[in-house]
Structure 1
Amino acid sequence: MARTKLLRDAVVILGAGTQGRRLAYMWSSTGKPVHLVDRQEKQLSEGIDYVQQLRASPSAISKNWGNITTSSPDRLNSALQQAWLAIECVPENINLKRTVISELDAIAPEQTIIASNSSSYVISEIIEPLTLKNPARVLSAHCYWPPETPAIEIMGHDQTDPSIIELMLNQSQKHGFSPYHVKSTSIGYIYNRIWAAIKRETLLALHEGVATPKEIDAIFKDVLKTPRGPCELMDVVGLDVVLDIENHYADSRKGLPIEPRQYLDNMIKEGKLGFKNRRGFYEYPS
């Protein structure tokens, strides 16, 4: 699937949640159109409002914004006919992601790249049971918290066309991302794989009574000069999400200690989910 230029100029994003709306902001930064697709009208309207807030910020990454069109899934086929890239940003449920990837592969034009933004599932395990007509155009394009954290990790599978990887790296950079190529299949990509070890050791230290969350965060920030410590960051992510990710690592890698997952599970049973419900390692004002 050799590519010398983009045959279409739009990007389709499925899912208008936290990541979907942030990606709509990034991919519309060069004046090209974006189609934001979601079943919930409320998500779409809130997503557009949020993009407008980002665009109005003094730190906005562009002055030449593309139009963002919102639509329900019943207009997905029409939106895809104009797209060089379709990104799934649906909730972190592997069966849902498989359904979405299958649908995109069935109806998207031959030259449309299909990307998953999954944080915990690599593209090879998402598509493993699927029969796709064109697996060469499918890859992972996982980003963190754009635009504040513009890193995006591009990872293919054993059938991904190398020219698509190159195109994604180039286009990501043009749209304000900092692209990184994950050169072999890696659960956790690059950063999350390293971050997983930090989370796990933090939870193990807490389980063993080595220090309090406040003390762990304080020494972490003191040594590495980071704005947040690991407990604060886990609160931001959501402790239920952190546990889901840890369970996925444990299913994929034998020998990981169970105590960190037990510690998280006990916190969740106590109703501590992190910043999302104002109770986690710390208490947050409403």
Structure 2
Amino acid sequence: MANSKLLREAVVILGAGTQGRRLAYMWSSTGKPVHLVDQQESQLSQGLDHVHQLRTSSSSISTNWGKITTSKPSSLKEELEKAWLAIECVPENFALKQSVISQLDNLAPDQTILASNSSSYVIGEIIENLSLNNPRRVLSAHCYWPPETPAIEIMGYEQTDPSIIDLLVKKSEEHGFTPYRVRKPSVGYIYNRIWAAIKRETLLTLSEGVASPNEIDAIFRDVLKTPKGPCELMDVVGLDVVLDIEKHYAETRKNLPSEPQKYLQDMIDAGNLGVKNSRGFYKYPRE
């Protein structure tokens, strides 16, 4: 099964938002083609512009770039015929992710690996009530902020073919990722389980008026010697995405405090989404 996948060279990415365009950059770094799919033409053009910026930056990870093509979902079946890997990178909405994975399973050849980039929903949750043609080729493959943070967590579920995980670990390394194998299904993978506790306590601290975002970030950087503090990191992720993830944790784990969700909702209602719209905990220059 693994060898037949290697005959197909392309990677198809559904979603040309912040994460999708960065994944397009990474998966095109060895000269192989990437096809970026999105319903919005503006997302596709902005995605290509962002990939070009990354490729021409001083920290570019390659000089051998694959061609990136774009389309709306109407031509998805044709593009999947060329792909060994298809990644859903749509917003953190459970019903949407279910719909996309179901569509990929119906359209993709049996040899194509189907991966979810969801940061909080594990693949077993997403496909639980779906009737898939080939459930053994689906898994979770969550990235953080490539290429600056090249970690990728690869996690299957009870039916995932182990050879698929082995292959994705190997191919991820070749494309500049640092793969981590999650050995059991885990909501939040490895890092996000730890990060969830940090951001939740950060939001609680803010809601109680104990410290400002700047003070929290400053002491966090001072003690742990990290380049960014938790408020800065949440701005990068997007506060709407952080809220969606926090809601999911609250659904799966009992007795979590409600204040972090309310604090985030108030910020979002005031128009603060983070880096993506130039204002969150901090203000940012517009791209």
C-alpha displacement at 1:148, in angstroms?
A: 1.0
Aligned length: 286
Q: Quick one: which amino acid aligns to residue 254 of structure 1?
A: K
1:270–1:82: structure 2 CA closer, same or farther, 3 Å change rule? closer
The aligned counterpart of 1:274 is 274
Q: C-alpha offsets along residues 164-223 of structure 1, whole Å, 9 cap, x if unaligned? A: 000000000000001111111111111111111001111222233332222211111110
Contact 1:28 1:68 in 2 (8 A): yes
Distance of aligned partners of 1:285 and 1:161 in 2 relative to their CA distance in 1, 3 Å threshold: closer
Structure 2 residues not aligned, in runs of 5+: none
- Give the deviation of 1:42 after TM superposition: 2.2
Q: Contact 1:3/1:163 (CA < 8 Å) preserved in 2?
A: no
TM-score, normalization by structure 1: 0.94
1:269, 1:64 → 2: CA distance? 44
Distance 1:169 1:222, change over 3 A: same
Quick one: which amino acid aligns to residue 137 of structure 2?
Answer: R
Q: Output one character per residue of 1:209-241: Cα deviation in whole Å (capped at 9) or x when no partner.
A: 332222211111110111221122222323222
- For 2:200 and 2:219, the matched residues in 1 are separated by 17
The answer to whether the 8 A contact 2:5-2:112 is kept is: no
Residue 92 of structure 2: aligned partner: 92
Structure 1 position 195 matched with structure 2 position 210: no
Q: Kindly tell me: are residues 58 and 283 of structure 1, through their superposed partners in 2, closer, same or farther at Cα, counting changes over 3 Å?
A: closer
Greater Cα offset, 229-238 or 246-255: 229-238
* Root-mean-square deviation over aligned CA pairs: 1.8
Secondary structure of the residue aligned to 2:95 is helix
Amino acid in structure 2 at the alignment position of 1:167: L
Q: Which runs of 5+ in 1 are unaligned?
A: none
Equivalent in the alignment of 1:82 = 82
Query: When the two structures are superposed, what TM-score results if normalisation uses the length of structure 2?
Result: 0.93
| Conserved 8 A contact 1:122-1:140 | yes
CA distance change for structure 1 residues 196 and 21 in 2, over 3 Å: closer, same or farther? Answer: same
- For residues 159-174 of structure 1, the aligned pairs below 5 Å read 159-174=159-174
Question: Is 2:93–2:244's contact at 8 Å kept on the other side of the alignment?
Answer: no
- Is the alpha carbon distance of 1:97 and 1:147 closer, same or farther for their aligned partners in structure 2, counting shifts above 3 Å? same
| Residues 113, 164 of structure 1: 8 Å contact kept | yes
User: What is the 5 A alignment of 1:1-286?
Assistant: 1=1, 3=3, 6-284=6-284
Partner secondary structure for residue 144 of structure 1: strand
Separation in structure 2 between the aligned mates of residue 4 and residue 266 of structure 1, nearest angstrom: 50
Cα distance, 1:20–1:279 mapped onto 2, change above 3 Å: closer
For residues 79 and 250 of structure 1, the distance between their equivalents in structure 2, rounded to whole angstroms, comes to 38
Q: 2:277, 2:48 → 1: CA distance?
A: 24
1:278 shift after superposition: 4.1
Residue deviations 1:100-125, cap 9 Å, x none? 11111112111110011111211111
Runs of 4 or more, structure 1, over 4 Å off, are: 1-5, 283-286
Contact residue 139 and residue 155 of structure 1 kept, 8 A? yes
Q: Cα–Cα, structure 1 residues 233 and 39, in superposed 2: closer, same or farther, change >3 Å?
A: same
| Distance in 1 between residues matched to 2:56 and 2:285, nearest whole Å | 27
**Could you tell which deviates more after superposition, 154-163 or 73-82?**
73-82
CA offset digits 1:57-101 (Å, max 9, x no partner): 121111111111222222111111111111111222111111111
Change in CA separation of 1:209 and 1:69 when aligned onto 2, cut-off 3 Å: closer
